[in-house]
Chain A
Amino acid sequence: MSKELIRLTDCVMAFDEDIVLDKINLSIKDKEFLTLLGPSGCGKTTTLRIIGGFQTPTSGDVLLDGVRINAVPPHKRTINTVFQKYALFPHLNVYENIAFGLRIPKADTKGIKVKLPEEEIDRRVMEMLEIVNLRGFEKRRTSQLSGGQQQRVAIARALVNQPKVLLLDEPLGALDLKLRKDMQNELKRIQKAMEITFVYVTHDQEEALAMSDTVVVMDAGRIQQIGSPEDIYNEPQNAFVADFIGESNIIDGVMRSDGVVEIFNRRFQCLDGGFERDEAVDVVIRPEDVDIVPEDQGQLKGTVTSVTFKGMQYDIIVDFYGFKWLIQTTDLSPVGSRIGIKIDPDGIHVMKKSAYSGMFGDYSSYSEEYEEISDASYDPEEEDSGDEE
């Protein structure tokens, strides 16, 4: 990763009283694959549209290559977009859709508008068709193409202009799962081959983790965390990120000292430090980091309340003192059985309390939906005393 290409400084987007983006600060490096990830309405698409020039921030600056471009209209930016619903021109065939940008006269170094020669246009369109595997489709009408093919035409149409940045607004949202996986690899391959910065918007955390160099997690118009996929998954900064990326059990804990956290009145070894003594914290435990052991050997003991077979593993819900955890295991523990669990120090991640504390991470109302928000008013302290084994 080299120099910085795009910078957003204190970008605010407000429609009347409604603040869509709240002081966004973001730096995008050259040749980077950056993903804006978040639930719908989090401001990710607005951020993309600000970079593309379709919206001007209410306040704050947008810089491209160090130059302020707030007021530069989209057609004068060296940035191209792949739109969510492709937005292919229905009156043009595949070839002409891709050639659309090339046919527009561009100012040369002396500022004189010049048209590309027809052979040059033809060469570049054919090259792009090759890259997106659509050779032989030149004369097709866009309505005759499948969703995946239309998607590739949209990508080719944007990339043929050799933009500095390609913006992709949930480009795979309308495709089925199999095709989506293929296109993820395809996009990654194209990005590597063409060495172009990709800014990718999605609400699919798996997609974000699989494709990105950098993931920007957003919610409620704010950036919650910026980091590599590994950072985001392993070291979430707050309960929102922990819940949104993957599955998480988020438990109230107290930091007794560096490396020691107390959950349910039991002390656990962990790797985190730098908190105040006895500071209340959120503790994240990923379902796959929990080892199931016989009940008498467990650090915590609980009852299995539900088992779901997921192919690679079982998702089991275990009740610990009234708080339900999701645990992923390859061994079947039947419903109603008593189990003990062990957690290694590197399986425990401690986070500062945030506005999101208490909103996520309880599987009492477990469903297959990732976004399911559990009962926020639940307080484990009340049930702690009487439930000792």
Chain B
Amino acid sequence: MKNKLSWFAVPYVGWMALMVVIPILIMVVYAFTTAEFEGTLENFAEMGSYASVFLRSFRLALVATLVCVLIGYPVSYWMAHEGPGFQRMAMALIMLPMWMNFLLRTYSWMSILENNGLLNQLFRNIGVIDLYNQIAPFFVDLRNAIAAHFGAAQTNFVPIEYFELIGTPGAVVLGMVYNYLPFMILPIYSVILKLDSNLLEAARDLGADSGRVFRKVILPLSLPGVLSGVTMVFVPSVSTFAISRLLGGGTQMMLGDLIEQQFLGGAYDPHLGAAISMVMMVIVVVCMVVMNRFGEGEGEAVIL
């Protein structure tokens, strides 16, 4: 960076200062001050009481990221090995939902997952719910028998009208996976597509069967794609608020919701909100740095 910045960089630098650096500074100032703008650490002292929200946020984001890897990797791998026509079509299908508004997509999931939603109606119509009501008593009895043996409390079986889908952690994870999966598929797909086919031939030539070629060559070489996919899914997941509010039914409060409440909600306290934002940002940055470190050493670490 010895070169003087070219004049063309001025708009970019100006924009970044205005839209990134200054807001972060404002956040830091708010986080360390009271409502009267006197210096304080009190905002951070309260952080402990929100530990459960922090935990839930990171846990759900982690699960969503993991699910995205588990779905995204095989899909990317498969896509990269199909013909160019198929690849274009698959790519269009993956990108298609992203042309719709994010909130609209999430509201759609609400109407699918609701107690009287599309999915439950379907289950009712094809008899899945009746089936459950017939089978479940057997397991409840079994559980009661075991509980009686250990002297534990008994439960009564209550027939259900619907499966509880909305308002569960699973619904929130589903929403995250649905919204962020393309960000996992794209980087992995492009890395696998660019893999030198000579390397795969070389590995086969040296005696590796297809399983070994995958484990020893394809997987380590596609790891950078996985890492950037993980970053691109994990960061928005951990800070989301719309998904958790709409699909979590108010029971799955995440950091995003907590922060939103401090600024727009009833618990108006921008200074606390700034402090929570700052803590979250620091944790995310640390996570990313650690992961990328791990990624750099991966080439040697996995193999040796």
- Which residues in A have some Cβ–Cβ distance to B below 8 Å? 52, 54, 73-76, 79-81, 83-85, 87-93, 96, 100-101, 104, 106, 157-158, 161
Interface pair A101/B207, CB less than 8 Å apart: yes
Residues from chain A with Cβ under 8 Å of B202 in the complex: 81, 83, 87-89, 157
Asked whether B152 is an interface residue with its Cβ less than 8 Å from the other chain, the reply is: no
Complex interface: stretch among B35-43, B156-164, B215-223:
B215-223
Chain A residues with Cβ under 8 A from B196's Cβ? 87
A100 touches B204 (CB 8 A): no
- Shortest beta-carbon distance, B86 to chain A, in Å? 20
- The answer on a CB contact under 8 Å between A91 and B299 is yes
Rounded to whole angstroms, the CA-CA distance of A84 and B201 in the bound complex is 12
A52 to B196, CA, bound (A): 18
* A157:B206 contact, CB within 8 angstroms: yes
Interface residues in B193-217 (C-beta closer than 8 Å to A) = 196, 198-199, 201-209, 212, 216-217
21 contacts between A and B (CB under 8 A): A54-B201, A54-B205, A74-B201, A74-B205, A75-B205, A75-B206, A75-B209, A80-B205, A83-B202, A87-B199, A87-B201, A90-B199, A91-B217, A92-B299, A96-B304, A100-B216, A104-B206, A104-B208, A157-B206, A158-B205, A161-B206
Q: Nearest residue in B to A92 (C-beta to C-beta)?
A: B303
The answer for the CA separation of A98 and B32 in the assembled complex, in Å, is 57
> CB distance A91 to B204 under 8 Å?
no
Contact indicator B221/A75 (Cβ below 8 Å) = no
A124 to chain B, nearest CB (A): 13
Q: How far is the CB of A284 from chain B (nearest CB, A)?
A: 39
Q: Which residues of B contact A85 (CB under 8 A)?
A: 198
Does B82 reach chain A (CB closer than 8 Å)?
A: no
State the main secondary structure of chain B at its contact with A. Answer: helix
* Complex Cα–Cα for A54 and B205 (A): 9
Contacts of B208 in A (CB 8 A): 75, 100, 104
Q: Please name the 7 residue pairs, one residue from A and one from B, whose CB atoms are nearest each other, closest first.
A: A101-B206, A87-B198, A91-B299, A87-B202, A74-B204, A104-B207, A81-B205
A170 and B38 CA atoms in complex are apart in Å by 74
Q: Do A80 and B206 touch (CB < 8 A)?
A: yes
Residue pair A83, B198 in contact (C-beta under 8 Å): yes
Residues of A within 8 A of B220 (CB): 91
Q: Are A106 and B207 in contact (CB under 8 A)?
A: yes
In angstroms, how far is the closest chain A Cβ from the Cβ of B203? 7
Residue of B nearest to A169 (CB): B198
Q: Is the CB of A161 within 8 A of B207?
A: yes
Beta-carbon contact of A90 and B205 below 8 Å? no
Residues from chain B with Cβ under 8 Å of A158 in the complex? 205-206
**Count of A-B contacts with CB under 8 A?**
66
Who on chain A is nearest to B212 by CB? A104
B235 to chain A, nearest CB (A): 26
| Whole-angstrom CA separation of A4 from B275 in the bound complex | 79
A84 to B198 CA separation, bound complex (whole angstroms): 9
Starting from the known contacts A91-B303, A93-B300, A161-B206, 19 additional A-B residue pairs (CB-CB under 8 Å) come to: A74-B204, A81-B201, A81-B202, A83-B201, A83-B202, A87-B196, A89-B199, A89-B217, A90-B221, A91-B220, A91-B221, A92-B303, A96-B303, A100-B208, A101-B207, A104-B206, A104-B207, A158-B206, A161-B207
Complex Cα distance A92/B206, Å?
Answer: 15
Are A75 and B201 interface neighbours, CB within 8 A? no
Contact A75 to B304, CB < 8 A, known contacts A87-B198, A91-B220:
no
Collect the chain B residues with CB atoms within 8 Å of residue A101's CB: 206-207
CB-CB under 8 A from B299, the residues of chain A are 91-92
Complex: A74 Cα to B204 Cα, angstroms: 6
Chain B residue at smallest Cβ distance from A84: B198
Tell me the nearest residue of chain B to A101, going by C-beta: B206
- State in angstroms the CA–CA spacing of A89 and B206 once bound together: 12
Within 8 A of A (CB), among B54-98: none
- Interface residues in B8-31 by Cβ distance below 8 A to A read none
Nearest CB of A to B198, in Å: 4
Least CB distance from A152 to B in Å reads 15
How many Å from the CB of B286 to the closest CB on chain A?
Answer: 26
Provide the residues of chain B in CB contact with A84, threshold 8 Å. 198
Find out whether the CB atom of A52 lies under 8 angstroms from the CB atom of B205. Answer: yes
- Which residues in chain B, 179-197, are within 8 Å of chain A measured between CB atoms? 196
Smallest CB separation, B223 vs chain A (Å): 8
CB distance from B39 to the nearest CB of A (A): 50
Decide if A75 touches B204 in the complex (CB within 8 Å). yes
Nearest chain B CB to A277 CB, angstrom units = 55
Q: In whole Å, how far is B205's beta carbon from the nearest beta carbon of chain A?
A: 5
**Cβ contacts B103-128/A at 8 Å (1 or 0 each):** 00000000000000000000000000
B238 to chain A minimum Cβ distance, whole angstroms, is 29
Kindly provide the distance from the CB of B207 to the nearest chain A CB, expressed in whole angstroms. Answer: 5
Chain A residues, CB < 8 A from B206: 75, 80, 100-101, 104, 157-158, 161
B204 engages A73 (CB within 8 Å): yes
Bound form: Cα–Cα A20–B37 in Å: 81
Which A-chain residue is minimally distant from B220 (CB atoms)? A91
Residue of A nearest to B200 (CB): A87
CB distance from B293 to the nearest CB of A (A): 16
CA distance A83 to B202 in the complex (A): 7
Q: Return chain B residues, CB-CB under 8 Å to A100.
A: 203, 206, 208, 216
Q: What B residues does A90 contact at CB under 8 A? A: 199, 221
Chain B nearest Cβ from A155, distance in angstroms: 13
B199 to chain A, nearest CB (A): 5
B103 to chain A minimum Cβ distance, whole angstroms, is: 42
Q: Determine the chain A residues whose CB is within 8 A of the CB of B204 once the complex forms.
A: 54, 73-75
- What residues of chain A lie closer than 8 Å to B207, measured between beta carbons? 75-76, 101, 104, 106, 161
CB distance from A353 to the nearest CB of B (A): 42
Nearest A residue (CB) for B302: A91
Chain A contacts for B217, CB-based, 8 A: 89, 91
- Measured CB to CB, the nearest residue on chain A to B199 is A87
Minimum CB distance partner of B223 in chain A: A91
CB nearest neighbor in B for A106: B207
Measured between alpha carbons, how far is A91 from B204 in the docked complex, in Å?
17
**Nearest residue in B to A98 (C-beta to C-beta)?**
B206
CA–CA, A75 and B213, complex, Å: 10
Q: Which residues of B contact A83 (CB under 8 A)?
A: 198, 201-202
Distance between Cα atoms of A83 and B300 in the complex (Å): 24
